[in-house]
Structure 1
Amino acid sequence: MTEPATDPYFFGAFADKWWSEDSNMKNLASFQGPRFAYFDKFVDSWTGKKVLDVGCAGGFTTEFLSARGALVSGLDPSPNLIAVARAHAEETGKTIDYQVGVGEHLPYADGAFDIVTCVDVLEHVTDPAQTVREIARVLAPGGIFLYDTINRTPVSYFMMIVMPEYVMKIVPKGAHAYKDFIKPSEMRGYLSGAGLTQLDKMRGLTILGQRKDGSLMTWQGLDSTSTYMNVAKK
């Protein structure tokens, strides 16, 4: 495995402990339940669906979906995280296709997937508009795009940077840059420009606090001033 110090990507530095009980990234797995409680409303069954997770990191979402019967591929720019994801999938007996790559240039054929997920990632890519266009390209006709990201508001600055990084200290400092947050109006433009149709109102997913086991308490509603998630169709 590539040594973490040689990985140029921020989250790659946490690869060696990604799945550990004391991992700094453990709280990210807390979002799977509430996130997919919403996404599931738009997926009749995950079994046999060809799914790509863009920005898969160490594999929290890919393994979650593989366990549901999906045929999963995962892509991330960090070689360290992909190595960890591959190793953990092998340890747990899951068949997941992992590749190193960036969202702006997906190494997959047109129409290769029924579903693409991109969660807590769009605010980290270099070009979100290009990434959404690439996601649309690899979606099959009628395929759906499931995503969440962070709004660019004073509320999100406080809730997603000040509180988790400096007050609660549950997220490493520097994990997010306010300038990279995406307003819903911008996101709607990216979707429209890629030929994708938004299927629902923006839904917020707000962090309320942290439990003793390290998992996060969240609340889902229509308030999208901090984070928001949605579904789009090709």
Structure 2
Amino acid sequence: MSDTTINADPAELAKFSELAHRWWDPDSEFRPLHQINPLRLQWIQSHVPLSGLRVLDVGCGGGILSDSMARQGANVLGIDLAGKALKVAQLHALEAGTPNVRYREVSAEALAAEEPAGFDVVTCMEMLEHVPDPASVVRACGELVKPGGWVFISTINRNPKSFLFAIVGAEYVLNLLPRGTHEFAKFLRPSELAAHCRAAGLDLHGTRGMEYNPLTRRYWLSADTSVNYLIATRKA
């Protein structure tokens, strides 16, 4: 990817911008994000207490995770290239009085050039499956985090089960997500993501899967990484 190319799919940005006003409606298309957010936060804090740390949330969207990390005492910067979603995030922070959170419309790669090793923790959740070059984002995350700092990533595995659950089930049967939210070819196997992390100087410290029961509408973390999964890495 050249320096002049933005690592983003215009169609993806348009899709999330169109839904921007619904980010903070817990019964909207973003309901799954609201439901899994406590699990994501718990996973992060099981590795590193966030209070007092400088945290970057890459691909923050409307700020659901950014806001919750700031409420744990972190000094949070959320970045995204979907301008409308960022405006919603900023408005919510003002309305909710969330301390220590701000937002910028900038790519991870551009910010890495500005602030190398500038953050104690970097998160990149449910974002890599929406960009043309996920390795570039992971590399930028590795550049942005301080030595000894943590990078947390979540995405979707690529296999027949994930196609059935994350696309057919979630988008067409259960209507948990708008149709067309995901593209199967962009899903990442854990081995592929681990290779990107190693190339970025990030050591793998743990992996967890995230499961969903459509009957109870409950999400939980497990050892099953066959569909949604999270990884914890640390900069050498």
C-alpha distance in 1, partners of 2:13/2:201?
33
CA deviation map 1:194-222 (0-9, x unaligned)? 0110012x2110121266xxxx4113211
Does residue 223 of structure 2 align to residue 222 of structure 1?
A: yes
Residues 39, 210 of structure 1: alpha-carbon distance in 2 compared, 3 angstrom cutoff: farther
The one-letter amino acid paired with 2:232 is V
Asked if structure 2 preserves the Cα contact closer than 8 Å seen for 1:7 and 1:80, the reply is no
Secondary structure, counterpart of 1:133 in structure 2 = helix
Structure 1 residues 69-218: aligned runs within 5 Å? 69-94=73-98, 95-106=100-111, 108-200=114-206, 202-209=207-214, 216-218=217-219
Match of 2:17 in 1: 12
C-alpha distance in 1, partners of 2:23/2:215?
18
The one-letter amino acid paired with 2:157 is N
CA deviation map 1:157-195 (0-9, x unaligned)? 111111110001110011100000001111111011001
Deviation at 1:117, TM superposition (A): 0.6
Asked if structure 2 preserves the Cα contact closer than 8 Å seen for 1:56 and 1:76, the reply is yes
Correspondence for 1:40 among 33, 38, 45: 45
User: What 5-or-longer segments of structure 2 have no aligned partner?
Assistant: 1-10
Match of 1:3 in 2: none
Q: Percent identity?
A: 34
User: What 5-or-longer segments of structure 1 have no aligned partner?
Assistant: 1-5
TM-score, structure 1 normalization: 0.90
Residues 221, 14 of structure 1: alpha-carbon distance in 2 compared, 3 angstrom cutoff: same
Correspondence for 1:50 among 28, 33, 54: 54
Deviation at 1:37, TM superposition (A): 2.4
Asked if structure 2 preserves the Cα contact closer than 8 Å seen for 1:7 and 1:79, the reply is no
Number of residue pairs matched by the alignment: 223
Deviation at 1:38, TM superposition (A): 2.4
C-alpha distance in 2, partners of 1:162/1:230?
25
Secondary structure, counterpart of 2:18 in structure 1 = helix
Residues 103, 125 of structure 1: alpha-carbon distance in 2 compared, 3 angstrom cutoff: farther
Residues 138, 210 of structure 1: alpha-carbon distance in 2 compared, 3 angstrom cutoff: farther
Residues 89, 141 of structure 1: alpha-carbon distance in 2 compared, 3 angstrom cutoff: same
Deviation at 1:10, TM superposition (A): 1.6
**Consecutive aligned runs of 4 or more in structure 1 exceeding 4 Å deviation:** none
TM-score, structure 2 normalization: 0.89
Deviation at 1:7, TM superposition (A): 9.1
Deviation at 1:101, TM superposition (A): 2.1
